[in-house]
Chain A
Amino acid sequence: MLTCKDASHLISERQDRPLGRRERLGLWLHLLICVYCRAFERQVAMLSRAMRELGRRGGADGIDLGPEARERIRKAIAERNGHD
């Protein structure tokens, strides 16, 4: 029988690789009886959704390049563009 520690590792790894048949069965049996690991499973799924949303939003609002950085980059582009 898997411990919660083992099961939680598999719950995490399932996000990153397909589990083997025996791993899937072991995890399924554990989740049937373990409310703790089911809660962890929901957290892992929510983390994944939230991370993607964070990526789509590109981080917090109101973040932008400073005027100096903009000017520097603008010059670098103009310089390189001129050489083409």
Chain B
Amino acid sequence: MIWFIIKRLMQTVPVIIGVTIVVFVIMQLVPGDPAVLLAGEGATKETIEALREQLGLHQPLYVQYFDYVSNLLRGDMGFSLKNNQPVLQEIMTRLPITLELAIFSTLITIVLGMLAGIISAIRPYSILDTVVMVVALLGISLPSFWFGLMLMYSFSVKLHIFPVAGWDSMLHVVLPAFTLGAGGAAIVARMTRSSMLEVIRQDYIRTARAKGVKERVIIYKHALRNALIPVITVVGLQFGALLGGTVLVESIFAINGLGRMIVDAIRMRDLPVVQGGVLVASLVFVVVNLIVDILYRLFNKRIELN
């Protein structure tokens, strides 16, 4: 197992290098000269030229990339064009908010999704199953910006249960996390259901019944653990999709998270911030994938043999 983790960790190194290259290249492809942007309107040719020199834009691309990476390793992501603050600092204040949102959403995705899936699977084709699956289908289909606004309208504006926007207390977390997690929960519910139905037909479930095990214990002890193996992968993938979703949800609920930061930066053409934001988001995704793989392995030891 330790070897597996080490091996898997080593595999992430080229992925991370790849991410930095992609982020770097994309920024090169963005139209417009960073020096012109930085100098601002009405700057003289000399000022721009001097800035180019200072930023090292005359250097060949590979040297620029090398500089970029070595700066990254020192924790230097450059400075925001907007307010001259270090990008890293900005990210560090924003990232925890987004992570918190993402983690709560994932919890909702897992708990709600699996519960719904299991309920459906216990009595397949029953009325309860049909209702749960129709709701799940809606959950997948509803666009999150509309769903978020509806939640906000009902629970904040009308019922005054939750605050409308912002990010101060636990109460603030509920609506955004639910908005973000609902789609994933729906997917997980459908996945859990079909996986459970598949597992329940297996020979070892029949063996458990032949032992006199109660139906409830069969579900939780014998079926669920085997059924969850494919679900874990889906949850991991959902987490990636979630990071993208934060952009929308943070905008709707006016949360100062990483997603909103990137959107604002793009609008302001604040390239260093965009670059840094995208890089960090990608790294988070890589790390989550790593964790999912390790979990998958823990749940399914048979992989070791094949």
The reply to whether chain A is a binding partner of chain B is no
